[in-house]
């Protein structure tokens, strides 16, 4: 500490008990956030409870002890939380404390404008540097703004608080009372929202949506940690987030996160606070690659949207079939808070190439309850509207909702629900008239979707994704049919065909993956998924023989896709012990005949009236 500040330090230094004596009855007291919570000052405040009355305690997420929320202190303290942590959840839902729902980006404005006045701020900071500046360390968020709005500032100065860079400093001259309190910072382990298997699957699906050069935002817990582990093969990622967690440290140290492709704060990790372990706190200490800023800056949707390829990954408690998200309530019980979810979802939606993602396990309460629901529970509020959600991810896949109709959304959401709930969700969707009343449920009564048959192949420098067909493929399959030339339709259907209505199409896309198997080839054109090929077989279980057929978009023919599709179907059929595959091909369809002859298995053919009957012997 420079000599210039020794006298000021000595004049302001107090014990914790003496410092909190300045707090008077009826005053509003702001307490710093999460792992930056000043535990010594909180204990001193509660010890003074007998001399206080009607004091409002204001904070966002609290991770430490909150004795002021206990019933015995009802006359002395009343909590007003901007975000509900586990330690104040009971008192809020019992009516002994308040919850103020507000986006994290807007809390700072409320405090600055005096809409929520603050008399005293209790904060925790690092020791001052040679210029007299202390860092807010692990919690800048609304702590800095709340401190600047307070009439009196009491700071616990802790040598264990890291010196974090950015817009994260307060000068000794702005602190009224100093309390030396060198104790370990609060640490917070990851919270597991489901089984590890669920989290791993969700992490893989989310990671697939993250392109090289993206900028990411996510929270903490099993799912974010799984996502981060699955990003280890990505390149040149950036970070713009509200919360920095342990999982990011490995990505930075391994060179996955560089920030070099960021369009805002290039080369810098931007965050507002961090929650995690001492390893994380040591990592952010005096690290020039990391900047912490107040929440009204980091969470500004306009700033977030200036990051190209901004990926916002957030969680939910339940999502309805239209895409409405509830993240802060379980029925009428308030569970967490609005936080920064909407800030980042809207920011990512504004971003060039951005993706707002909601990720959640498909079930809760030991798989007894579906998190994908026909409508949100009674009492549950909408945290994020259906218009703000672009992707929803569970352990069963990805539902892409942006720009989709209610029918498309409902089918996509049912498709990623737990299989045992899909039938009742479809029934509810029919009752609500979200889908066709005759919508088939075959896909939900058969075998599970065989994800093991997903694969990628490259044709003419374009990557094609091959996967089993899904109920949501009705529209792109219709587009494929109407893209065919009259010649292609004649050769494929062995005669003219002018329409492909829903009643026919749905039998193609709703299959049991057992007696009926279909593989589609999918490409993305201008952010729209397009089916360019489809192949299928239909099995007669009595004979163990199957009929096979396939078709390729006119623009994608003569590239080897038909050959690959037939070979892939042969492989699947062999694995399942099917005896033969049979087909009928017009004699004039020489390219199709060549595909069968070059299949690599024994081919038996007969011809009658210009049509070949083909049998492929598999076993």
411 shares its domain with 469: no
Q: Examine residue 444 and state whether it is found in any structural domain, yes or no.
A: no
353 shares its domain with 297: yes
Q: Examine residue 189 and state whether it is found in any structural domain, yes or no.
A: no
Q: What is the pLDDT of residue 1?
A: 46
Contacts 24+ apart (CB under 8 A), 600-605: 600/567, 600/570, 601/570
Q: What is the pLDDT of residue 489?
A: 84
Domain finish residue from 149, 180, 211:
180
Query: What is the average pLDDT score of the chain?
Result: 93
Torsion of CA 151, 157, 161, 163, to 10 degrees: 70
d(CA 617, CA 601): 6
Q: Let me know how long the chain is.
A: 619
* Percentage of the chain lying above the pLDDT 70 cut: 98
Q: What is the pLDDT of residue 194?
A: 53
* Percentage of the chain lying above the pLDDT 90 cut: 84
Q: What is the pLDDT of residue 190?
A: 61
Residue 99 is part of a domain; what is its CATH number? 3.40.1080.10
* 200 or 425, greater pLDDT: 425
Q: Examine residue 186 and state whether it is found in any structural domain, yes or no.
A: no
Structure tokens that stand for 1 in this block: 């500490």
119 shares its domain with 222: no
Give the range among 63-72, 257-266, 373-382, 546-555 with minimum mean pLDDT.
63-72
- DSSP codes of every residue in 322-390: T--EE-SEETTEE-S--TTHHHHHHHHHHSTT-EEEEE--SEETTTTEESEESSPPTT---SB-TTT--
- DSSP codes of every residue in 432-467: TTSS-TT---HHHHSSPP-GGG-EEEEETTEEEEEE
Choose among 345, 312, 215, 343: nearest CA to 270.
215
**Structural domain that includes position 312:** 196-439
Please report which confidence band the pLDDT of residue 399 belongs to, taking 50, 70 and 90 as the band edges: very high
Number of domains in the chain: 3
d(CA 117, CA 112): 8
Choose among 109, 124, 147: nearest CA to 30.
147
351 shares its domain with 493: no
Give the range among 221-225, 524-528, 543-547 with minimum mean pLDDT.
524-528
Q: What is the pLDDT of residue 199?
A: 85
The average pLDDT across 398-426 equals: 95
Q: What is the pLDDT of residue 491?
A: 78
Tell whether the model's pLDDT for residue 193 goes beyond 80: no
Q: Examine residue 188 and state whether it is found in any structural domain, yes or no.
A: no
228 shares its domain with 96: no
456 shares its domain with 435: no
* 468 or 460, greater pLDDT: 468
Residue 613 is part of a domain; what is its CATH number? 3.40.630.30
396 shares its domain with 489: no
Q: What is the pLDDT of residue 39?
A: 95
232 shares its domain with 338: yes
Distances (CA, A) of 198 to 334, 362, 391: 25, 8, 17
Q: What is the pLDDT of residue 5?
A: 76
Domain finish residue from 180, 205, 237:
180
Q: Which residues are catalytic?
A: 242
Residue 292 is part of a domain; what is its CATH number? 3.40.1080.20
Please report which confidence band the pLDDT of residue 195 belongs to, taking 50, 70 and 90 as the band edges: low
Q: What is the pLDDT of residue 222?
A: 83
The average pLDDT across 591-611 equals: 91
This model's pTM is above 0.85: yes
- Model confidence over 421-458: pLDDT tens digits? 999 999 999 999 999 999 999 988 878 899 999 999 99
Tell whether the model's pLDDT for residue 285 goes beyond 90: yes
337 shares its domain with 478: no
The average pLDDT across 313-331 equals: 96
Strands 391-394 and 355-359: what pairing? parallel
Tell whether the model's pLDDT for residue 216 goes beyond 90: yes
Q: Examine residue 223 and state whether it is found in any structural domain, yes or no.
A: yes
Distances (CA, A) of 265 to 96, 508, 537: 43, 49, 53
Strands 333-334 and 355-359: what pairing? unpaired
d(CA 48, CA 34): 22
The average pLDDT across 121-147 equals: 96
Q: Examine residue 446 and state whether it is found in any structural domain, yes or no.
A: no
The average pLDDT across 527-556 equals: 93
Q: Examine residue 267 and state whether it is found in any structural domain, yes or no.
A: yes
408 shares its domain with 484: no
Top-ranked range on mean pLDDT: pick from 193-202, 573-582, 585-594 = 573-582
Q: What is the pLDDT of residue 341?
A: 95
Structure tokens that stand for 447 in this block: 């075998």
Whether the Cβ atoms of residue 127 and residue 159 lie closer than 8 Å to each other: yes
Give the range among 276-290, 362-376, 596-610 with minimum mean pLDDT.
596-610
113 shares its domain with 221: no
Q: Cβ contacts of residue 543 below 8 Å, gap of 6+?
A: 579
Domain finish residue from 439, 473, 504:
439
Strands 290-292 and 269-271: what pairing? parallel
Please report which confidence band the pLDDT of residue 191 belongs to, taking 50, 70 and 90 as the band edges: low
Contacts 24+ apart (CB under 8 A), 169-173: 169/133, 169/134, 169/135, 169/136, 170/123, 170/125, 170/133, 170/134, 170/136, 170/144, 171/132, 171/133, 171/134, 172/5, 172/8, 172/9, 172/12, 172/128, 172/132, 172/133, 172/134, 173/8, 173/132
- Model confidence over 98-128: pLDDT tens digits? 999 999 999 999 999 999 999 999 999 999 9
Q: Examine residue 190 and state whether it is found in any structural domain, yes or no.
A: no
373 shares its domain with 269: yes
The average pLDDT across 306-315 equals: 96
């Amino acid at each position: 500490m420079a000599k210039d500040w020794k006298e000021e330090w000595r004049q302001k230094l107090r014990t914790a008990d003496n410092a909190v004596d300045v707090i008077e009855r009826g005053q509003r007291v702001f307490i710093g956030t999460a792992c930056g919570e000043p535990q010594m000052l909180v204990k001193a405040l509660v010890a003074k409870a007998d001399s206080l009355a009607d004091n409002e305690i204001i904070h966002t997420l609290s991770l430490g002890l909150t004795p002021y929320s206990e019933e015995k202190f009802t006359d002395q303290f009343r909590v007003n939380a901007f975000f509900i942590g586990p330690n104040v959840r009971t008192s809020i839902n019992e009516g002994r404390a308040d919850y103020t729902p507000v986006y994290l980006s807007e809390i700072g404005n409320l405090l600055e404008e005096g809409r929520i006045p603050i008399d005293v701020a209790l904060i925790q900071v690092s020791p001052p540097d040679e210029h007299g500046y202390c860092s807010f360390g692990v919690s800048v968020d609304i702590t800095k703004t709340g401190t600047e709005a307070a009439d009196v500032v009491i700071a616990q100065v802790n040598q264990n608080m890291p010196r974090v860079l950015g817009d994260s400093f307060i000068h000794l001259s702005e602190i009224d009372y100093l309390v030396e309190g060198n104790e370990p910072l609060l640490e917070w382990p990851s919270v597991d929202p489901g089984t590890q298997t669920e989290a791993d699957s969700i992490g893989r699906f989310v990671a697939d949506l993250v392109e090289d050069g993206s900028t990411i935002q996510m929270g903490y817990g099993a799912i974010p940690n799984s996502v981060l582990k699955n990003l280890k093969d990505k390149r040149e990622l950036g970070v713009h987030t509200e919360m920095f967690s342990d999982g990011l440290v490995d990505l930075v140290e391994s060179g996955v996160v560089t920030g070099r492709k960021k369009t805002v704060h290039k080369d810098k990790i931007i965050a507002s606070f961090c929650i995690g372990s001492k390893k994380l706190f040591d990592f952010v200490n005096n690290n020039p690659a990391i900047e912490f800023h107040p929440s009204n800056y980091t969470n500004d949707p306009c700033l977030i949207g200036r990051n190209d390829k901004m990926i916002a990954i957030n969680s939910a408690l339940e999502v309805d079939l239209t895409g409405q998200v509830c993240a802060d309530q379980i029925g009428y019980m308030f569970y967490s808070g609005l936080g920064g979810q909407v800030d980042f979802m809207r920011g990512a939606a504004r971003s060039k190439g951005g993706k707002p993602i909601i990720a959640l396990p498909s079930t809760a309460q030991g798989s007894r309850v579906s998190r994908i629901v026909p409508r949100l529970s009674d009492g549950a509020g909408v945290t994020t509207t259906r218009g703000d959600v672009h992707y929803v991810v569970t352990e069963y896949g990805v539902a892409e909702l942006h720009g989709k109709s209610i029918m498309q959304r409902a089918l996509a959401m049912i498709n990623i629900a737990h299989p045992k709930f899909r039938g009742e969700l479809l029934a509810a969707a029919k009752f609500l008239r979200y889908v066709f009343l005759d919508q088939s449920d075959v896909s939900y009564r058969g075998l599970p979707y065989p994800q093991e048959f997903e694969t990628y192949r490259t044709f003419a420098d374009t990557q094609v994704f091959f996967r089993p067909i899904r109920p949501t493929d009705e529209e792109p399959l219709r587009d494929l049919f109407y893209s065919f030339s009259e010649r292609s339709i004649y050769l494929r259907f062995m005669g003219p065909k002018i329409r492909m209505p829903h009643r026919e199409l749905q039998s193609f896309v709703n299959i049991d993956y057992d007696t009926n198997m279909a593989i589609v080839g999918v490409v993305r054109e201008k952010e729209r998924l397009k089916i360019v090929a489809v192949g299928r077989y239909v099995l007669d279980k009595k004979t163990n023989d199957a009929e096979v057929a396939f078709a390729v978009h006119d623009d994608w023919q003569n590239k080897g896709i038909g050959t690959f599709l037939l070979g892939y179907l042969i492989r699947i059929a062999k694995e399942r012990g099917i005896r033969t595959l049979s087909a009928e091909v017009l004699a004039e369809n020489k390219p199709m005949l060549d595909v069968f002859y070059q299949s690599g298995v024994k081919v038996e053919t007969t011809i009658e009236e210009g049509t070949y009957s083909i049998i492929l012997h598999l076993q």
